[in-house]
Amino acid sequence: MSKLFEIMSSGKGEIPDLVRPIVDVEAGPAQMASAGTNGNDETPAAAPSEREASSGTTPLPGQVRTLNLRIAATSPLLPFEPSLWRASEQYRILRTKIVQHPMQPRMIVISSPAAGDGKSVTAVNTAAALSLKSEAQVLLLDADFRKSMLHYLLGLPESPGLAEVLKATCNVEKALVQTREFPNLFVMPSGATPANPVELLDSGAWQTLSGTLRAVFRYIVVDSPPVGAVADYDLIQAVCDAVILVVRPDHTNRQLCKASLAAVPRAKLLGVLLNCVPDWSLARRAGADYYYYYGEKSYATKQRGEPRAEERDEQAPTAP
């Protein structure tokens, strides 16, 4: 299992950052552990009745491939080392804001003003955070035909995927991958790069597929091309409920950022995620609140010579 998901599952880790409308995070060096040792061995997924989510979604009629994630040590995914845990908490905050948002978005586009801002990595970690809720089946969908990254980031086959489904050369079940490490997380890669991505998305097949996926999954996180770069983005967000815009300090062009914010319909803009923040200075702004993060209070009391939290717990009387 990759450290990315392992640390998120345990409540520790660290990555990008959502600005005021959503959250904040800091980034460190990009290094990941290898994910899994058994390879991408295919096994049939559980029977549809066993995979049905308690949220009332409809199970798929056929079987879905189950594969191991294989994340290389050199993967550009953000680090989830034990010493870098704040981002994991920020993604949990993001998850909470999505789940509790009055709009109740289910199909969410992750985009950016330009390439290199970190939208694909953000899409992976947003979907991962949502999938940790045991009652929710989550789909991570790669709709960026021009520069698909999700299969590379997760070590999964590129095809069959979305392109093949839209071209009607394979069905939805064959294009989906259920991750063995996290049964609630499903991935649909982009598929073989089509010669006509706009035509594939500007079709009834894309609208029909979005309806089919909504019936199966509680949340669908869509990695799309950058806003305004190609016509694909507009066709993707047209069938989705919300948009999260990823920007990166010292990388994102300010004018492109302003143009992207203006291009996103106000009713769909869920928030802005600030990626690769060098130093999350606001972490200590609230004084004692800072020590609510994992391990910080224990460290602080130890420095003052006071008993650590776990020691105080051992000394506390047991409730009847």
pLDDT in 10s for each residue of the chain, 320 residues: 444 445 455 544 333 444 334 444 444 323 222 333 334 445 444 433 333 333 445 666 668 889 988 876 655 554 444 555 777 777 888 899 999 999 999 999 999 999 888 899 899 989 988 998 767 899 999 999 988 889 988 899 999 999 999 999 999 999 999 998 888 999 999 999 888 889 999 989 999 999 999 999 999 999 999 998 888 999 999 999 999 999 988 888 899 999 999 999 999 999 999 887 776 555 554 444 555 555 554 444 444 555 544 444 444 444 44
* Torsion 1-148-277-270 (CA) sign: negative
Residue with tokens 């586009």: 109
Pairwise CA distance, residues 78 & 98, whole Å: 21
| Other residues' Cβ atoms within 10 Å of the Cβ of residue 114 | 18
- Three-state DSSP class for residue 312: helix
pTM, 2 dp: 0.73
Pairwise CA distance, residues 104 & 114, whole Å: 27
**Residue type, position 124, single letter:** V
Radius of gyration, alpha carbons of the chain:
20
Domains and CATH numbers, the chain: 3-279 (3.40.50.300)
List 140's β-bridge partners, or say none.
187, 221
